[in-house]
C-alpha cells in the first residue's frame, strides 16, 4: 500500500478516535478541568454541579459553580456562586496546547465579599492566583487559555465587615473583558488572575462608596487604640 495513503488512513483514524472520545467525555472533561485548575489557581475548593456542552457547536452551560472562601474567612457560604454560565468553546482547540473560549456570559452571580481590617476574601483569592500553583513553584495546569469575551451582568454582592451586624446587598455594574490571555501565552491561573483583578477594581469603589470602609477602618483603629491605652492605665 502506498505510504502516503497509509499515513492518511492512520491520521484519519486518529482524528476519529479523538472525536469519539470527546463526544462521549467532553462534559466530564470540562467539569474535572474546571475543578482541578480552579483549585490549583485559587488555593480553595472549586466545585461544579453539571456541564452540558454540545460537541457539534461548542456551546453549552456550566451549572452550579462555587468557589470556596480562603482560610480565615467564613465557611458558611462560598465566596462566589454562579447558578449558570453560558459558554462557547472553540472545539478544535481542545486537543491543542491553548484552549480557546470564544464567549462566556454570566448573569446574576452571587459574590460574598467579606472584609477584615485590611484584607478581603476576594482580595485573598486574587493574591492566591498570583503565586505558584504547587510546591515546585510552577503551574500544574499545562494548557494555555484564551477567553475572547467575558461578560458579567447583574452580579449580586453581599458585603460584611467586622463592624456590621448584618450583610448589605449591592449590585455590581456590568463587567466586560476581551482578549484575556491573547497577547502572550497565559496559563489558566494567569487568566483567572486577570479576571480577579478586574473584579476587585469593580468591587472596591462600589463597596467603599456604599459601605464607608474608610470610616469603618478609622473607627476600628480608634477602638483598638483605646483598648491598648486602657490596658496600660
The pLDDT tens digits of the residues spanning 22-41 come to 545 789 989 999 999 999 99
Report the b/e string of 172-195 with b at 16+ CB within 10 A.
beebebeebbeeeebbbbbbbbbb
Note down the domain range covering 24: 3-232
Give the length of the chain.
Answer: 233
Query: Which comes out higher in pLDDT, residue 39 or 233?
Result: 39
* Residue 123 and residue 200 in contact, taking contact as beta carbons nearer than 8 Å: yes
DSSP letters along 100-137, please?
A: EEEEEEEES-EEEEEB-SS-BHHHHHHHHTTS-SSTTS
Q: Look at residue 85 and tell me whether its pLDDT is greater than 50.
A: yes
For the segment 186-207, the average pLDDT, to the nearest whole number, is 94
Rounded percentage of the chain residues whose pLDDT exceeds 70: 76
Backbone dihedral region for residue 6 (phi beyond 0: left; psi -120 to 50: alpha; all else: beta):
alpha
Q: Are 65 and 79 in contact (CB under 8 A)?
A: no
Q: CA 45 to CA 38: how far, in whole Å?
A: 8
pLDDT higher than threshold 70 for residue 176: yes
pLDDT of residue 226: 52
Supply the pLDDT for residue 163. Answer: 80
If one counts the domains in the chain, the total is: 1
Q: What is the per-residue pLDDT across 120-175, written as a single tens digit (0 to 9) for each?
A: 999 999 999 997 655 444 444 467 999 999 999 999 999 998 888 888 999 999 99
Amino acid at each position: 500500500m502506498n505510504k502516503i495513503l497509509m499515513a492518511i488512513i492512520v491520521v484519519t483514524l486518529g482524528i476519529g478516535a479523538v472525536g469519539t472520545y470527546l463526544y462521549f467525555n467532553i462534559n466530564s472533561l470540562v467539569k474535572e478541568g474546571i475543578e482541578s485548575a480552579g483549585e490549583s489557581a485559587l488555593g480553595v475548593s472549586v466545585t461544579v454541579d453539571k456541564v452540558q456542552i454540545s460537541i457539534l457547536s461548542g456551546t453549552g452551560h456550566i451549572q452550579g459553580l462555587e468557589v470556596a472562601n480562603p482560610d480565615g474567612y467564613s465557611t458558611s457560604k462560598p465566596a462566589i456562586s454562579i447558578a449558570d454560565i453560558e459558554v462557547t468553546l472553540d472545539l478544535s482547540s481542545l486537543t491543542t496546547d491553548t484552549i480557546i473560549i470564544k464567549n462566556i456570559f454570566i448573569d446574576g452571580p452571587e459574590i460574598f465579599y467579606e472584609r477584615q481590617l485590611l484584607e478581603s476574601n476576594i482580595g485573598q483569592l486574587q493574591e492566591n492566583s498570583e503565586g505558584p500553583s504547587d510546591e515546585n513553584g510552577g503551574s500544574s495546569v499545562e494548557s494555555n487559555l484564551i477567553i475572547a469575551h467575558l461578560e458579567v451582568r447583574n452580579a449580586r454582592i453581599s458585603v460584611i465587615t467586622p463592624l456590621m451586624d448584618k450583610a448589605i446587598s449591592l449590585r455590581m455594574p456590568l463587567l466586560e473583558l476581551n482578549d484575556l490571555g491573547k497577547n502572550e501565552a497565559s496559563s489558566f491561573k494567569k487568566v483567572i488572575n486577570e479576571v480577579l483583578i478586574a473584579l476587585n477594581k469593580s468591587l472596591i469603589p462600589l463597596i467603599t462608596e456604599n459601605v464607608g470602609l474608610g470610616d469603618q477602618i478609622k473607627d476600628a483603629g480608634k477602638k483598638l487604640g483605646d483598648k491598648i491605652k486602657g490596658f496600660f492605665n
